[in-house]
Every structure is written in C-alpha cells, then in structure tokens.
Amino acid sequence: MDTGTLSEIGKLLVLQEHDVRIRQIERELRDIPERKKGEEQRLATHQADAAKADDHQKGRQAAIKDLELEVASKREQILKLRRQQVDLKTNKEFQAIDSEIKSVESAIAGLEDKELELMALLEEANQLLAASKRELADEASVVKRDVVAWDQRAAALEAEVATLRAQRDAAAALVQQKAWLALYQRVFSRKDNALVPIEGGVCGGCHLQLPPYVVHEMKKQGTLVTCNFCGRLLYER
Ligand SMILES: [Zn+2]
C-alpha cells in the first residue's frame, strides 16, 4: 500500500477516534436530564408517602379529639342531671334521673374504651409517620447528592467534548483527501464507525466476507473502497 494513502487513512483513523469519543459523550450528556428526572421522581414518591402518612395520623388525632369532646359533653350532661336531682321531690323521680345518669356513664365507658383503641391506632400512625419522614429525609439527601454528581459529570463532559471537538477539527484539517473526508463524514453520520479494517477478507464492520475484487481494489494505490454490504470504508491494517 502506498505510504501516502496509508497516512491519509491514518489521519482518518485519528479523526474517527475523536468522533467516536465525541459521540459517546454526546449520548451520555443527552441521558443526564432523564437520569436526574428519575431521581426527582423517586423523591416525589417518598414525598407523597410522607404526606399520606401525615394525613393518616391527623385523621386519627381528629377522631380522638371528637371522642374526647363527646365524653366531655356527656360528663356535662351528668352534672346537669345531678343538679336536677337536688330539687326533686319524690324518690321515684330521683331514681329515674339516677338510671339516666347510669346510662350516660355507661355510654362514657364505651367511648373511653373506643378511645383506648384509637390511641393504639394513633401510636401506629405516629410510628408510620416518623418512619416515612426518616425515609424521605434519607432519600432527599441521596437525591441531592446524586443530582449534584450528575451536574458535575455533565460539566466535566461538556468541557471534555469542547476540547475533543477542537482536536477533532484539527485532525480533520490534516486530511488532504477532502473527498475521502466528506465520504468518511457521510458514513460516520449513519454508522457507529466509518473506517474499518479488512481482516481475512472480512469487513471489520459487518463481518461479512467481501468479494475478492473489493479486496483487490482496496490494495490499489489511492483508492478508498466501501464495503458493499454495510457501506463502511475499508482499510488494510
Ligand atoms: Zn461491511
């Protein structure tokens, strides 16, 4: 193979090395916002859980408060009945009020039993709320750290890709065969790589056996041959 041709291929290979790395970085940069969004969605799920646990706990507190109000009003009722008893004339009337008081007292006892059950449920709700707040705080710090890390990664990649693009342009400027450069760029825009070696008569891109005339053509001076299967440009290592 002609050394001039080899060196043109060599220049294209340097260019391709840069282009492949640039493409990798661009892909990674494109994925970063999606990854950050995923982190934030995870946090939102924990926030929703904590809000739900908070509502649940408040609901139980409110139920206990209602019961307490009901008990207080029944106690008030008993006091009122007792005051009424003072002015009563007959034993029969007295006993009638007495039995009314007993029935209110038994209603209070029932409410107080219910309150004990509700207190146990409130305790459960308190523990659930505390656990979900702890999880939320842990998750928030993880997400915060991860988002900062993604931002730093993005900034580092932006800087790297800017340098690589400058190096890539310099490498492209060194290629004298502008038609080859244009061909390379056209193929690279469609494929993962544009310039591949032939090994044992097989295309290094699509791994298909090339017809002998293609291999023969490639060995000619000053020609750039494309694989007739995948369209990549071929060179001999
Ligand atoms: Zn091929």
pLDDT in tens, the chain (237 residues): 344 444 799 999 999 999 999 999 999 999 999 999 999 999 999 999 999 999 999 999 999 999 999 999 999 999 999 999 888 889 999 999 999 999 999 999 999 999 999 999 999 999 999 999 999 999 999 999 999 999 999 999 999 999 999 999 999 999 999 999 999 999 999 999 999 999 999 999 999 999 999 888 888 877 889 999 999 999 988
Distances (CA, A) of 84 to 76, 79, 220, 232: 13, 9, 123, 106
Which pLDDT score, from 0 to 100, does residue 2 have? 42
Of 3.30.750.210, 1.10.287.1490, 3.20.20.60, 1.20.1560.10, the CATH number of 19-174 is 1.10.287.1490
Phi-psi region of 116 (alpha: psi -120 to 50; beta: other; left: phi over 0): alpha
Sequence-distant (≥ 6) Cβ neighbours of residue 60 within 8 angstroms: 118, 121, 122, 125
Kindly tell me the sign of the dihedral angle through the C-alpha atoms of 207, 208, 213, 217.
negative
Q: Give the predicted TM-score (pTM) of the model.
A: 0.73
**Rounded to the nearest whole angstrom, what is the distance from the C-alpha of residue 209 to the centroid of ligand 1?**
8
**Rounded to the nearest whole angstrom, what is the distance from the C-alpha of residue 173 to the centroid of ligand 1?**
27
CA angle 156, 157, 162 (to 5 degrees): 105
**Rounded to the nearest whole angstrom, what is the distance from the C-alpha of residue 234 to the centroid of ligand 1?**
8
**Rounded to the nearest whole angstrom, what is the distance from the C-alpha of residue 205 to the centroid of ligand 1?**
5
**Rounded to the nearest whole angstrom, what is the distance from the C-alpha of residue 30 to the centroid of ligand 1?**
29
CA 176/CA 206 separation, integer angstroms: 28
CA angle 147, 52, 145 (to 5 degrees): 15
The number of residues in the chain equals 237
Q: Structural domain boundaries of the chain?
A: 19-174, 177-237
H-run or E-run covering 183:
helix 178-190
**Rounded to the nearest whole angstrom, what is the distance from the C-alpha of residue 2 to the centroid of ligand 1?**
23
DSSP 3-state of 118: helix
**Rounded to the nearest whole angstrom, what is the distance from the C-alpha of residue 22 to the centroid of ligand 1?**
23
